[in-house]
Structure 1
């Protein structure tokens, strides 16, 4: 077993890992480019002198300017919180694809409103535009991981959902460097701060157009009774005929899962809410999903993303351009490490190991950065050039990035896209995405005040919470890599300990697959396309 090998739940034709499934995932993941770009550009853009001059920043006290900056940043997260819940209705009635089109259109409208803000009109259009854009990305952040997980072969599901995180980092790199570019090549003017706001329209437009060329989720179509279209889409995505045994196995598993959900919970709009209220197994997974984003946001990443100039100033980096340049390097490091996570780590090392190792290494790095600031106190002992101690603190900060990025940055999104049953998946992802935006909002809203009040203690605070997350993962989260979506109920069974559940389930899946193929081969019935549905039911019953 090499680090590049894939752990398959059953023998899989190589054509299943084709360009179509990657293309569908990449188009849907473009919403993350919009999210990543915003998290990177907004802090630097509102720190530009041209922006402050436009909106007469000099009239505000330090406390007032901190509050306005926090409001500009955080109304985006507030909109995203509600957008995540709106996506539940859109995903249920419209589907994954049309729902993503609706929310990308809402984002485009919000981004357009931001461009109308100026000194005469005030900040009202900026607040309204960012709230609408937040609703758009909040809804898309719910539907994108669900859509990708539902069309992904189990062995590369983590990689495909990880494209969402890759898009986030690509947007982040562009956002960081756009600010540096306009600050170094343009004189202070309205266009200088407006250009970063306008660039948001590019990824949103590309996503909106690209969605017309991909297919709807076969699992959603099956749940809505559109079986013929679902089989057509699944055959197109897998590049297999309906008479292939791999297709028969997958369709049979989907049918069995839907039948079980119909008999127990139901497939209607309100049934998932009843399951959440009445089924402890479902509510427990909702708790796990929301908790993952609590730990993710209390690692400190969004404090650094949204207020990077403040963070680097606390280490001893002076000058707006120098701070933006350092922030740009931070974005490049995250993007490079994300590529390694996407292609080599997520589907090989697994979710549990990445989360625990990343939290431990990241905590040590933040403790070092906090200790340096405590001892050297660079804010009260400024120097023309950064000291050797400051360089070491920067090195540990980038090392923290290397630990954090392939663990807590994207893995919670992958985990949440996998763990919920089909009938509550959209609602579960809505709660998980909403919890992400809620904690994101709290961090964005109070980070500036935290740095003012706590100083170096902010780094100790985030480091301590990262250590606490290790216990959460070890005792509560089972490994999900390579497990089919239809087998997640077994993975989260009460009779399996989280640290051993994955091994047990994979053994059971191999035994079931051998029995399934034995029944198919022993039946002696050809798998004619017109008889596929009847044959699937026959084999399912015999198994």
Structure 2
């Protein structure tokens, strides 16, 4: 598996990392169902509205507002109560929001309130999980496990598309047609909340709170070992925290404005802003509506293409995570992919504007444009889709990781909100020229990455202090050598090492 230590430790690392990324699955599933149920006559009949553009914009943006607010403010809860309890509470709030949505109120206001409440839980969960994951993952596969947020997101999107398609063609026009896709969200949320009872709290959070006995037990569990390498890793964590405390003498707000931390906050903001600027999240939300621009006004056909789009999303991001995430550097992957996506969007616009408009039948130009959108999606799933999740969690020191990931993920929700609010109006006003808009943003992102993003592949969380020239930087290799030397000396004298 490419990991030092026991096979059980490798299994636990992978299982834990992908299990808590269930929060990403929820994000993806919720993202995907919106565009589909808006096409259902049953939903329109139950809520009695005529302006679909406004309803879809409000439906998506209200949840994003709730997610943005909770993601931005959840760091103090996570810092006080721990990652585990915070995620469990977030999933409980999310389920309450889903229940409010599926009750037969026939009131858009009630549905909107449910969306907002669910957004509070979803935003909190997606803000805490990346930090929780990074703090438990071995550095050798931290990028792979952190990218699991995007893989599970893609799985959620794919399943939501096919569930929308299935209920559309198999169920009669009734409330169940839209209630089933919406209500199913409670299943993964409940599984995550209950499953965490069997999981340990974050090693680094426990160490940060001075609970070293529990921290070491947590690290032993996730590594399934108490050998020399685990002891060395734990010593590295303790020395890193000590150096942070020595350099800062207690957390102060102005600590966030120190050059190293200010740089990291700006990078975190940019990474998730850039993820939304690719245009691919807008495609995930409004897939059926986007594909109507290309293949014509056929709801079943656009839903089918959207389902295939979701399947491709899940497959390609899975290939990236399993085979390439720890092979390619973060930085070149990001800037090269941004330029490639820009080229694809330009080609789509040129073909669209130079060929006859589509009808209910497929045309060579329409097929070509769909293929190009699928190619763009594949590029995104190999880069801007998965990479911001591990990158923004790994660059921050333990003491401000809650704040850093909150800023990062709240940025994701903020721009998710902005693009979800304006995308339908942009589509109505610009048509296929909306792709040129996203192409221009991709070029800007590539330039910023090339000049300002730092490479983090293969470095431990404690080594980030040296990479960003922090005042808390220390010799990580020396700390590990010291721990290993202590273990060797104890072994020679046949003494038991009692950590911590």
In 1, the alpha carbon distance for the partners of 2:47 and 2:122 equals 26
In 1, the alpha carbon distance for the partners of 2:138 and 2:12 equals 12
Equivalent pair of 1:351/1:480 in contact (CA under 8 Å): yes
Q: Of 323, 327, 330, which residue of structure 1 is paired with 2:306?
A: 327
1:217 matched to which residue of 2?
202
TM-score (norm 1): 0.87
Q: CA deviation at 1:519?
A: 6.9
Q: Secondary structure at the match of 2:361?
A: coil
Equivalent pair of 1:117/1:125 in contact (CA under 8 Å): no
Please state if 1:20 is matched with 2:5.
no
Q: CA deviation at 1:27?
A: 2.5
1:404 matched to which residue of 2?
380
In 1, the alpha carbon distance for the partners of 2:468 and 2:233 equals 21
Cα distance change, pair 377–137 in 1 and its aligned pair in 2 (3 A): farther
1:363 matched to which residue of 2?
342
Q: CA deviation at 1:528?
A: 4.7
In 2, the alpha carbon distance for the partners of 1:494 and 1:256 equals 15
Task: List gaps (5 residues or longer) in structure 2.
Answer: none
In 2, the alpha carbon distance for the partners of 1:474 and 1:527 equals 53
Equivalent pair of 2:352/2:432 in contact (CA under 8 Å): yes
* Structure-to-structure mapping, 1:101-112, within 5 angstroms: 101-112=88-99
Equivalent pair of 1:117/1:123 in contact (CA under 8 Å): no
Cα distance change, pair 512–475 in 1 and its aligned pair in 2 (3 A): farther
Deviation per CA, 1:418-456, whole angstroms, max 9, x where unpaired?
000111101000000100000000000010101112222
Q: Secondary structure at the match of 2:44?
A: helix
Q: CA deviation at 1:517?
A: 4.5
Equivalent pair of 2:65/2:119 in contact (CA under 8 Å): yes
Q: Of 103, 106, 115, which residue of structure 2 is paired with 1:116?
A: 103
Q: CA deviation at 1:338?
A: 1.1
In 1, the alpha carbon distance for the partners of 2:353 and 2:35 equals 25
1:493 matched to which residue of 2?
469
Q: Of 136, 146, 154, which residue of structure 1 is paired with 2:121?
A: 136
1:390 matched to which residue of 2?
366
In 2, the alpha carbon distance for the partners of 1:363 and 1:17 equals 41
Equivalent pair of 2:236/2:476 in contact (CA under 8 Å): no
Equivalent pair of 2:236/2:479 in contact (CA under 8 Å): no
Cα distance change, pair 514–218 in 1 and its aligned pair in 2 (3 A): closer
* Structure-to-structure mapping, 1:463-502, within 5 angstroms: 463-493=439-469
CA RMSD of aligned residues (A): 2.2
1:249 matched to which residue of 2?
232
1:152 matched to which residue of 2?
137
In 2, the alpha carbon distance for the partners of 1:463 and 1:527 equals 65
In 1, the alpha carbon distance for the partners of 2:244 and 2:453 equals 23
Equivalent pair of 2:208/2:241 in contact (CA under 8 Å): yes
In 2, the alpha carbon distance for the partners of 1:19 and 1:422 equals 25
Cα distance change, pair 318–420 in 1 and its aligned pair in 2 (3 A): same
Equivalent pair of 2:71/2:406 in contact (CA under 8 Å): yes
In 2, the alpha carbon distance for the partners of 1:224 and 1:448 equals 47
Equivalent pair of 2:135/2:203 in contact (CA under 8 Å): yes
In 1, the alpha carbon distance for the partners of 2:426 and 2:188 equals 33
Equivalent pair of 1:142/1:433 in contact (CA under 8 Å): yes
Cα distance change, pair 98–512 in 1 and its aligned pair in 2 (3 A): closer
Q: Of 397, 414, 422, which residue of structure 2 is paired with 1:421?
A: 397
Cα distance change, pair 114–407 in 1 and its aligned pair in 2 (3 A): same
Deviation per CA, 1:327-377, whole angstroms, max 9, x where unpaired?
000000010001111111111112112212321221111111111222225
* Structure-to-structure mapping, 1:512-531, within 5 angstroms: 517=484, 521=488, 528-529=495-496, 531=498
Equivalent pair of 2:312/2:374 in contact (CA under 8 Å): yes
Q: Secondary structure at the match of 2:383?
A: helix
TM-score (norm 2): 0.95
In 1, the alpha carbon distance for the partners of 2:221 and 2:319 equals 29
In 2, the alpha carbon distance for the partners of 1:212 and 1:494 equals 36
Q: Which range is displaced more, 423-432 or 165-174?
A: 165-174
1:258 matched to which residue of 2?
241
Equivalent pair of 1:43/1:73 in contact (CA under 8 Å): no
In 2, the alpha carbon distance for the partners of 1:169 and 1:474 equals 27
Size of the aligned set, in residue pairs, is: 498
In 2, the alpha carbon distance for the partners of 1:82 and 1:471 equals 30
Q: Of 290, 293, 296, which residue of structure 2 is paired with 1:311?
A: 290
Cα distance change, pair 239–320 in 1 and its aligned pair in 2 (3 A): same
Q: CA deviation at 1:318?
A: 3.0
1:273 matched to which residue of 2?
253
1:499 matched to which residue of 2?
none
In 1, the alpha carbon distance for the partners of 2:489 and 2:198 equals 41
Equivalent pair of 1:366/1:462 in contact (CA under 8 Å): yes
Equivalent pair of 1:272/1:424 in contact (CA under 8 Å): no
Q: CA deviation at 1:296?
A: 0.9
In 1, the alpha carbon distance for the partners of 2:244 and 2:96 equals 38
Equivalent pair of 2:235/2:480 in contact (CA under 8 Å): no
Q: CA deviation at 1:531?
A: 3.8
Q: Secondary structure at the match of 1:480?
A: coil
Cα distance change, pair 460–17 in 1 and its aligned pair in 2 (3 A): farther
2:57 matched to which residue of 1?
70
* Structure-to-structure mapping, 1:184-263, within 5 angstroms: 184-241=169-226, 244-263=227-246
Q: Secondary structure at the match of 1:409?
A: coil
In 1, the alpha carbon distance for the partners of 2:20 and 2:73 equals 18
Equivalent pair of 2:235/2:483 in contact (CA under 8 Å): no
In 2, the alpha carbon distance for the partners of 1:148 and 1:529 equals 31
In 1, the alpha carbon distance for the partners of 2:356 and 2:437 equals 18
